[in-house]
Chains A and B, each alone.
Chain A
């Protein structure tokens, strides 16, 4: 597609359930990023992929969070045993490469509500 596509756009889940959030980056973009935006907070960097590898996973908030990217394209962010504090907008972004001159393009986000 023309832009970064995320699904679902909205998700309401019960506390303790697992959720999967999907990101389809712009075609040809090798760098992919996940961010979290909580109500009233700034954007928090979670993880980035260059191709299929994620050099640094230290931004993930806890071991309940994991992310993978296969085939150098689609990425999935998985949250296990969701908690209410996980409620946020999860934004995915991509860029041509991870170099300094590359504009980063964001998707519309997946709005997660844990009840």
Chain B
């Protein structure tokens, strides 16, 4: 059964710092990996999708990498801003499941 782990569970940093969120998964037979953002009381917003054949994807200040063989992904946020405060969720498609398997998220707070 696919399991997804996110480290750290929570992170609080001053505005302007570059930071890295980590995600690992147990079954490397995935089709893709997605990073989502969830604001309090809201649904999920897709940030980046990396297909299994890709190594990374970039969108603005966000860069996500995928090392499928080692079962790891990182989300890099450059020059963090208070508006980046949210819970960031990593999810993989595949590895024996029909739907996405999610980690429990990293709760990020960017201090002004």
Residues on A lying within 8 angstroms of B by beta carbon are: 4, 33, 35, 41-43, 45-48, 55-56, 59, 91, 93, 99-101, 103-109
CB distance from A24 to the nearest CB of B (A): 14
Number of A-B contacts (CB under 8 A): 59
Would you mind naming 10 contact pairs between A and B with Cβ atoms under 8 Å apart?
Answer: A4-B43, A33-B99, A42-B89, A42-B102, A46-B99, A47-B99, A91-B43, A101-B32, A106-B36, A109-B43
Pairwise interchain contact B51-A101, C-beta atoms closer than 8 A: yes
Nearest A residue to B97, CB-CB: A45
Dominant secondary structure of chain B at its interface with chain A: strand
Closest 8 CB pairs of A and B: A100-B31, A45-B99, A106-B44, A43-B102, A42-B104, A108-B43, A106-B43, A100-B32
- Which range holds the interface residue count of chain B? 20 to 34
Inter-chain contacts of A106 with B (CB < 8 A): 36, 43-46
Pairwise interchain contact B44-A48, C-beta atoms closer than 8 A: no
Residues on B lying within 8 angstroms of A by beta carbon are: 31-32, 34, 36, 42-46, 49, 51-52, 89, 91, 93-94, 97-105
